[in-house]
Amino acid sequence: MSYKIKKRMRTILIWFATLITALVILIPLYWIFISSITPEHELFTSPINYIPLHPTLKHYQKLFLSLNLIQKMFNTLFITAFALTISTVICLMAAYGFNRYESNALKIAQMSIVFSMMVPAIVKARPLYTFIRAVGLHDTFPGLILLYSSNLIPFTMLILGNFLTSIPISIEEAAEVDGANFFQKLLYVTLPLMRPAIATILMINFITCLNDLFTPLYFSNSIEVLSVAITTLPKDDMYSMPWELISSMGWIIVFPIIIFVCVFEKNIMDGIMAGGVKT
């Protein structure tokens, strides 16, 4: 009997903790959402109406029609798509080189690349800015794409490298015996086996690109991505804050992320943990 009570207590405790966690995370999100559909003047009321009295979509309308949000979305997706492709391709090549061949120099190079993750962006920013400007890549798509790709490299290398080590070399050797040349072996044997790792890393890198504020903030002026654009929304005067626009734009960024995360919860979780344990 007492065991049963204990078990019930445990279940209640667990659900209580879950509820608290969910509330702490979801209430702010819900609040951003309702703010985005509340007319401007009603935002300046206290207490807050948690069920909006006069829901409106005019803030969204303003974002799309007069603030050119489509262009900013395009910029973000364009840069992200290229950065993901470039970083994945070159990291796949490098992971193969590092994990299928052995020499001390290679090992040192691999370690340096993974450890370069620890070098913070602020230490590099100013010289990098001068360099990017000097070669004419400042405020251009190629420049941003290169910088974004570079940011993705260490983590991508880590995940792909770990995964590749878990694929036995004997599979490749079997293909070689069957007469496959180097490229056939890579393309038809190794690459298909890497598919789950590639999918995971693409998802995590997508989020990383979307969240990056530092790179676009300092390395471009006219090409605005979403994370920078939300800080430059027009305001009435220096001290006020266009909360109605920020909340609706915030929701435009956050809503797809919520859906994305809920759908791919398992893959993302596995990906994050795969990177964590080995580091």
Site for another protein in 174-233 (CB under 8 A): 182, 207, 210-211, 213-214, 218, 226-228, 230-231
Site size for another protein (CB under 8 A): 96
| ∠ CA 85-90-95, rounded to 5° | 125
Among 83, 144, 147, 194, binds another protein (CB under 8 A): 147
User: Measured between alpha carbons, how far is residue 270 from residues 91, 192, 197, 201, 275 in Å?
Assistant: 19, 19, 10, 10, 9
The region of 52-60, 63-71, 106-114, 191-199 touching another protein under the rule CB under 8 A is 106-114
How many residues comprise the chain? 279
Q: Is the peptide bond before 47 cis (omega within 30 degrees of 0)?
A: yes
Q: How far apart are CA 149 and CA 86, in angstroms?
A: 7
Contact with another protein (CB under 8 A) among 9, 12, 15, 68:
15
Closest CB 2 distance from another protein, rounded Å: 14
CA–CA gap between residue 214 and residue 210 (Å, rounded) = 11
Query: Between 128 and 193, whose beta carbon lies closer to another protein?
Result: 128
CA–CA dist 194, 97 (Å, integer)? 15
State residue 234 phi and psi, 5-degree precision.
-65, 135
If binding is defined by CB under 8 A, does position 43 make contact with another protein?
Answer: yes
- When asked if residue 273 is in the footprint of another protein (CB under 8 A), the reply is yes
Regarding 272 and contact with another protein (CB under 8 A), the answer is yes
Select the residue interacting with another protein from 57, 65, 81, 109 (CB under 8 A): 109
Helix (H), strand (E) at residue 1: none
Regarding 279 and contact with another protein (CB under 8 A), the answer is yes
The site map against another protein for 148-177 (x = CB under 8 A) is -xx--xx--x-----------xx--x----
Our measurement of the distance from residue 127's CA atom to the centroid of its chain's CA atoms, rounded to an integer in Å, reads: 25
Instruction: Provide the minimum distance between the beta carbon of 199 and another protein in the complex, in angstroms, as a whole number.
Output: 16
CB of 242 to another protein, least distance (A): 10
* CA angle, residues 78, 81, 84, in degrees to nearest 5: 145
Please, which of residues 122-141 interact with another protein by CB under 8 A? Answer: 122-131
User: 């819900």: which residue's tokens?
Assistant: 30
Task: Name which of 187 and 257 has its Cβ closer to another protein.
Answer: 257
